[in-house]
Amino acid sequence: MTLRVDSDPGLTDRIEGVLLGAACGDALGVPYEFGSAPLAPDEPPRMIGGGLGPYAPGEWSDDTQMAVVVARVAADQGLRHVPALDAVVQGWVDWLGSGATDVGTQTRQVLGTVAGTGPSRLWWSSSAAAAGLHRRTGQTAGNGSLMRTAPVALAFLDDPATLTLAARWVSDATHRDPLAGDACVLWCHAIRLAVLDGVLPDLAGLVDVLPLARQGRWTSWIVDAERRTPSVFAPNGYVVSALQAAWSAIRHPVGDGSPLVTSLNAAVHAGDDTDTVAAIAGALLGAVHGASSIPEEWLALVHGWPGLRADDLRDLARRVVDRGVELAVHRAPDELVEVAEHLIARGLGEGYDFVVRGRLVPSGLSSEYIGLEQLDDGTYRVWYLGDWGTQRSLVETGDWAVARARFVEESVRLAQGRRPRWKIPDEPGGKRRWWHQR
């Protein structure tokens, strides 16, 4: 599809609502984070500032600050290639060194390890550090990547296949637990659909974008959130609880006002990490109801690093979408996306990353490669490249389904015999590329 943004004012309103909704949720939750200020059960939250900062009234926190970094890169160069992901990590490192008002423990730990890394290896180093932390502790499913994921959805409004991949790449930069990536993928797809359709999507119906092995668990977590009220999901530093608290708040609004206002009210009343839960909920609520549903009083107050106000966020959101639409012509070949999704569905997309013609492609391989090549006459060749450079052809066929099946079968076989290792070909498009298209 080709998105026509200018000709649809409702669509523009919902695009602008995503970052604004998240920022307003953030600023509304800031005063009450971890019980910083008291909030009576029937009292509506207000943007009074304070919290852990302390923050000025209406000021947003790290959630929106980190999201702004992602959005600026997306508006500038998209999020389709490795240099863009490097730029996101660079932006966070710079933010940490200058503008960060507060930062999550895990995010600080991971970004702290990459400060001296060369600019072209930043995303790789950061996600490798996140993976190392995950292997050592087994506990890296914090809510710190979900809270900043909304701009990724805007960058791929008309490319849902790449959205599935990119949401996980941006999450992986600091949070390597598969559940953190899952939450970002799921929430981004919900935001994307909400922006396009203007209605709240059926979240449980979206789990098929996730690896098969975890779809059932996510369905039951979502159903649980729909049945119970948000405060059940506190503490919510765990990404699953944070998503449940946000979804429960959207489904169980409290107090007087519009759906966006009453749902954000419920999100803050969930307690614990109030700004993050409300920022997560706010992105989806803004996508459904649009910027026009946000109270004027909030729009006048909301602001934050790096010196932005409401109109700047509107402008930034539109620019992310415009750039995404423009770059969608560079979407990965359908066959490549299909194979990547197939591997993810088999649970092979995690813990490994490969660069294919400047794009990251998750796969299940290590230092050996299964390659898939389209020959000049249109036939496909599946080949194997061993550790010592030995290459042999496994199958040549004109039938895409046969080539794909053989490729996946060989990938599974290879992955099963390998322990996870971090290895990326040095030169994207170099000799050891995984996909080759002439």
Residues binding Mg ion (CB under 5 A): 61-63, 275
Residue 237 or 371: which CB sits closer to Mg ion? 237
Q: Measured between alpha carbons, how far is 170 from 80 in angstroms, rounded to an integer?
A: 11
Please, where are the H alpha helices in 140-273? Answer: 150-155, 160-172, 178-197, 212-227, 239-251, 259-269
Residue 61 or 411: which CB sits closer to Mg ion? 61
Q: How far is the CB of 349 from Mg ion (least distance, A)?
A: 29
Instruction: Name, in order, each residue with C-beta under 8 angstroms of 181's C-beta and a sequence gap of 6 or more.
Output: 145, 167, 168, 171, 172, 175, 350
Q: How far is the CB of 104 from Mg ion (least distance, A)?
A: 8
Q: How far is the CB of 246 from Mg ion (least distance, A)?
A: 14
Q: Measured between alpha carbons, how far is 183 from 243 in angstroms, rounded to an integer?
A: 7
Give the relative orientation of helices 9-29 and 259-269 as an angle to the nearest 10 degrees. 30
Residue 31 or 362: which CB sits closer to Mg ion? 31
Q: How far is the CB of 112 from Mg ion (least distance, A)?
A: 18
Report whether 359 contacts 421 (CB < 8 A): no
Helices (H) and strands (E) in the chain, counts: 16, 8
The structure tokens listed for 216 are 């059932």
> Within a 10 A sphere around the Cβ of 118, how many other Cβ atoms?
9
Residue nearest to Mg ion (CB): 61
Residue 286 or 371: which CB sits closer to Mg ion? 286
Q: How far is the CB of 103 from Mg ion (least distance, A)?
A: 9
Q: How far is the CB of 305 from Mg ion (least distance, A)?
A: 12
Q: Measured between alpha carbons, how far is 413 from 184 in angstroms, rounded to an integer?
A: 29
Residue 221 or 305: which CB sits closer to Mg ion? 305
Q: Which residues are paired to 385 by β-bridges?
A: 369, 391
Residue 147 or 336: which CB sits closer to Mg ion? 147
Residue 125 or 236: which CB sits closer to Mg ion? 236
Q: Measured between alpha carbons, how far is 127 from 172 in angstroms, rounded to an integer?
A: 5
Q: How far is the CB of 279 from Mg ion (least distance, A)?
A: 7
Q: DSSP class of residue 102?
A: -
